[in-house]
A and B are shown apart, each in its own frame.
Chain A
Amino acid sequence: MSTDLFRIPPELASPLEDIDRAHPVAFRFDGKRLRGRAGDTLASALLANGVHLVGRGIKYHRPRGIVAAGAEEPNALVQVGQGTRGEPNLKATQVALFDNLSAAPVNVWPSLKFDALAANELLSPLMVAGFYYKTFKEGPASWWDRVYEPLIRRAAGWGKAPPGPDPDTYEHTHAHCDVLVIGAGPAGLSAAKAAAESGARVMVLEDDARPGGHLLARPRRVDGRPGHQWAAETAAALAAHPEVRLLTRTTALGVYATAHVTAVERLTDHLGPGAPGPRQRLWHIRAGRIVLASGAHERPLVFADNDRPGIMLAGAVGTYVHRYGVLPGRRAVILTNNDSAYETALALLDGGGSVVAVLDTRREPSGPLVEAVRARGVPIRAGYGITGTTGRGRVKRVWISPLAEDLSPRIAETTLDCDLVAVSGGFSPVVHLWSQGQGKLAWDDRQACFVPDPARPAVEPISVAGAANGCFELAEILAQGANAGAEAARAAGFTAKATTPPGVEAPPATPPAPIWLVPSDKPPGEGVGKHFVDLQNDTTAADIALAAREGMTSVELMKRYTLAGFGTDQGKTGNINALAILAHELGKPIPEVGTTTFRPPYTPLTFGAMAGRQVGALFAPERVTPMHDRHRARGAVFEDVGPWKRARYYPEGGEDMDAAVARECRAARQAVAVLDASTLGKIEVEGPDAAAFLDRVYTNTLSTLGVGRIRYGLMLNDDGRLMDDGTVTRLGEDRYLLTTTTGGAATVMDWLEELHQTEWPELDLHLTSVTDRWAVAQVAGPKARDLLAELAPDMDLSAQALPFMRFVEGTVAGLPARVFRISFTGELSFEVAVPWSVGGALWDALFKAGGKHGLTPFGTEAMHVLRAEKGFIIVGQETDGSVTPLDLGLDWALGKKKGDYIGRRSLARADLARDDRKHLVGLLTEDPGEVLEEGAQLVDDPDQAPPMTMVGHVTSSYMSPTLERSIALALVARGRQRMGQTVHAPLADGRVVKATIVDPVFYDKEGKRRDG
């Protein structure tokens, strides 16, 4: 096991160091065993071991190293963990190190050191911007499937998706606060403190494991103490405040309408796999006001071959030195256009490294930081740039040259040997969430960055403070934070006092001198060097220039043409350089080119966090009846009907579905069978105006229905289409019970509520869903009465006492029961409803007594066959939202002598009154063994050339065990006038099935069987 050779010796360690040197942590990268320290990130541990090469570029497969120290990292994507816990494309800079962590590079084949696709670089003249569009349209069409796509799929993409379901759990939490502070750097802490002091409820989200922001990685003093200590104390005081919730390792992902903010909290990722509790938590936060204190990201400079491992952001180098005690290199060259990189030079020197030179693109750098570096004997070359680099797997030499006044190409003057290049091109405020909240940006010429435009505020209640607001002076950052926090609290209705911001010691933050492309010996695209703008997508300055020449003049088009700004980092480091280069190519000022759209999420998140607990059995609620266990015990096969699990059939002794259904149908026709009908929707309507209400919503007249009687009713939409059907029972003078289809129960309930509340609030009634108040057994068959009589000795169930479509209350099997004479099978049938909780007892009692009668349970499939034999429709099967009762031949159910009802006027519209509409008919195939496919189209002339004239379609089709032949229901144009005629069903397999149009009632047309 190699040790961390690049760890700074303890005696030189920065006072900011935040690792536990006494606690080594073993981990693996790319199969190699390495050791880091507690508190490391994977990136800092790799750098401590001298590992810079961590991946390959997506297009040219050039070696790539760690660039940044946070969410903006473009290169260091790794696959962490294995098997179903493997997670692809994590940024090594954000992975907390834990014991036995195992990580692997992505996008390398066959290995990191030798990558076969590195040969892509030889093809680079072909792989310019838009090369997919240009290259792969050549050749025969079949090349796409056989050649191009497999090639691209092999070459493209980064990590591998896990092979199975995620074993970890995730959860969602909702929270509300008056003031939400995003970011706990100096601005955020200051804002949270001010808001909390007012008594407002405050939430603070910090992406890092520790609050403090740049105070954790730069030596500063705040309020007479080291800055990181001030941050720790302030955060501790906030965390202890009863109205403050401070979340670390929590990234704000998106801002949505009405101050809805989502954030992901990484609960156990830093502990390793299998830690107890949920792995991540997705927060849904509703804030009164939002203070955005998300800081800034450093920008690299664009120069030739600026992508080698060892070329890093200067600020990140400073962070690795101060916070993690790591020297990312021993001989550093610094390239900068601003003062901040000089702090990195000092940090490297203090940590025992050497700085070969500082190359400053400015002609006359000055100021305390510059002087401090000069005083340490470091050569400072003003007005210099890097024109090229070399080094396989790690930068080892840079070519440098003074910059021409007009930034024209320059031949290198000399070279510098080095193992690290620390680059700073200035800072870009992290404005993502401001922009998501519909705030606009303004270009700040002095700071050379886009900042939130106070003149064009966000639609969401967001204020911005600190570096996110383009403010880089520490004293001002603290003051802005305190102001923003106090103002937010005031806006939320609290009294916040003005506070004096604490005194600070910090170097001045001078603005950068923008330089968007450091010239080399030739213009981009003409020499061998590549000037990378977006490291993750291998977009170069030459690609952007080409895009501009080829007319992609909008920044959004340029993004899609060159891929700059795509990927897991969404161009956090590269975007501003990309659009500045585009602006230069177009000869336009930067603000005129503008930015691409900032969309959520701010950083990628795993699907598990999005799904939360809604996976597996909890993905969608499942409803079961009280008889469900009994069905399972009998081996029932279930089907989903709406949210319900319904028994479809009960196979016995190895039966297939057809055999089971045939047996169940025969039992219902010849003896007695029982269906669990508990899932049918049930609604009670109660009140003096119940009858009047139902007359308006059903096509039938229900006010004339006698107490204890039942009527079949149709409910239409306003446009006259059949919406639902069911029975209406008058339980009492002012009380009705409606049944609905299983799937339509909620829709009907909502529809009735809507009509009552919004159209006729003056009607005095209540609607109550009683679906899961009553369990229902539908007992059907010639012996149904014999069976029930045995179970209900006190009830007179004779045809005289309880005729068809009547209802009675009594006791069945010792249970309080409602018994309805309703038949959906055509047989003598009773629907027995008992309280839901004793549904199982009813079922058991039926079977206890039913054996001698041959009682057989039947499922929904047999029910479908039995009702089709009788020509009864099923809403949603015979209807599709375009079908009217007239189409179905249900004119008899339309009340002629009543007032208006929903849908009535529409039935008289010209289109619905057309005489060539499709009618419900029966079909008998010429071959009685042929069961038509449901949905099969029907034509008159099977020899017609396509497109054929279709005259209708099959809606239901079964093998009828009763008739011992196939039957079908269909909707056929003018069908009722075409009885006895032939139609044809051309099938997908080329056969044409001939069928005769018949009456839709196939069995017991006279209805003799329903009384037993």
Chain B
Amino acid sequence: MLRISCPWCGPRDETEFGYGGQAHLKRPDNPEALDDAAWAEFLFLRDNPEGPFVERWVHSHGCRRWFNAVRDTKTDRVIATYRPDETPPEAAKMVLKGQEGGR
């Protein structure tokens, strides 16, 4: 069971948290302007890297707040966590940059 550091509450057991998939996805401002393929891309397609991944978690059985985490999908270790309103830490920035490049 992972130990995850909630940016508000501190380190807690994984059982207190819920998972929310890839972070920093931008909801399109005007979905009506998107064709079906572009809309489906937003709805259904996610990155699935081996290695660091920036994802969303929620402290369901704690403060009930959402936050972002950088987790290495290969070792299943959380590298960093941060609040949604914070500037992402370096570990997250590197991943996000890589994702943009990959698109």
Instruction: Report which A residues bind B (CB closer than 8 A).
Output: 256-260, 286, 459, 718-719, 750, 753-754, 757-759, 761, 900, 904-906, 908-910
Interface membership of chain B positions 19-32, coded 1 if the CB is closer than 8 angstroms to chain A and 0 otherwise? 01000000100111
| Closest Cβ–Cβ distance, residue A407 to chain B (whole Å) | 44
Contact of B13 with A by CB under 8 A: yes
- Nearest residue, chain B, Cβ from A256: B1
- Nearest residue, chain B, Cβ from A905: B31
Interface membership of chain B positions 41-82, coded 1 if the CB is closer than 8 angstroms to chain A and 0 otherwise? 001100000000000101010001110000000011100000
Contacts of B58 in A (CB 8 A): 750, 753-754
Q: Is the interface of B mostly helix, strand, loop or mixed?
A: mixed
Contact of B94 with A by CB under 8 A: no
Q: From A260, A757, A761, give the contact of B3 (CB < 8 A).
A: A260
Contacts of A754 in B (CB 8 A): 20, 58, 66
A758 touches B1 (CB 8 A): no
- Nearest residue, chain B, Cβ from A900: B31
- Nearest residue, chain B, Cβ from A719: B43
| Closest Cβ–Cβ distance, residue B35 to chain A (whole Å) | 10
A758 touches B56 (CB 8 A): yes
Q: From B31, B76, B85, give the contact of A257 (CB < 8 A).
A: B76
B30 touches A910 (CB 8 A): no
Contact of B84 with A by CB under 8 A: yes
**A340–B15 alpha-carbon span in the complex (Å):** 47
Instruction: Report which B residues bind A (CB closer than 8 A).
Output: 1-3, 13-14, 18, 20, 27, 30-32, 34, 36, 39-40, 43-44, 56, 58, 60, 64-66, 75-77, 84-85
A757 touches B66 (CB 8 A): yes
Contacts of A761 in B (CB 8 A): 84-85
Chain A-chain B contacts (Cβ-Cβ < 8 Å), number? 57
B75 touches A758 (CB 8 A): no
**A757–B65 alpha-carbon span in the complex (Å):** 7
| Closest Cβ–Cβ distance, residue A130 to chain B (whole Å) | 36
Given the interface pairs A260-B1, A718-B43, the reply to whether A759 lies near B77 with Cβ below 8 Å is no
| Closest Cβ–Cβ distance, residue A75 to chain B (whole Å) | 35
Contacts of B13 in A (CB 8 A): 260, 286
Contacts of A750 in B (CB 8 A): 18, 58, 60
Q: From B3, B31, B34, B44, give the contact of A286 (CB < 8 A).
A: B3
- Nearest residue, chain A, Cβ from B23: A758
**A335–B51 alpha-carbon span in the complex (Å):** 52
Contacts of B56 in A (CB 8 A): 758
Known pairs A257-B2, A904-B31 / 15 extra A-B pairs, C-beta < 8 Å: A257-B14, A258-B1, A258-B3, A259-B3, A286-B3, A753-B58, A753-B64, A758-B20, A758-B56, A758-B84, A759-B27, A900-B30, A900-B32, A906-B39, A909-B39
A-B contact pairs, 16 of them (CB 8 A): A257-B1, A258-B2, A260-B3, A286-B13, A718-B43, A719-B43, A719-B44, A750-B18, A750-B60, A753-B66, A754-B58, A900-B31, A904-B31, A905-B34, A905-B39, A910-B36
Contacts of A909 in B (CB 8 A): 36, 39-40
- Nearest residue, chain B, Cβ from A749: B64
**A905–B64 alpha-carbon span in the complex (Å):** 29
| Closest Cβ–Cβ distance, residue A923 to chain B (whole Å) | 34
| Closest Cβ–Cβ distance, residue B52 to chain A (whole Å) | 15
| Closest Cβ–Cβ distance, residue A751 to chain B (whole Å) | 11
Given the interface pairs A257-B2, A900-B30, the reply to whether A459 lies near B39 with Cβ below 8 Å is no
- Nearest residue, chain B, Cβ from A759: B27
B66 touches A459 (CB 8 A): no
Contacts of B20 in A (CB 8 A): 754, 758
| Closest Cβ–Cβ distance, residue A255 to chain B (whole Å) | 11
Q: Choose among A459, A757, A910 the residue with the greatest number of B CB atoms under 10 Å from its CB.
A: A757
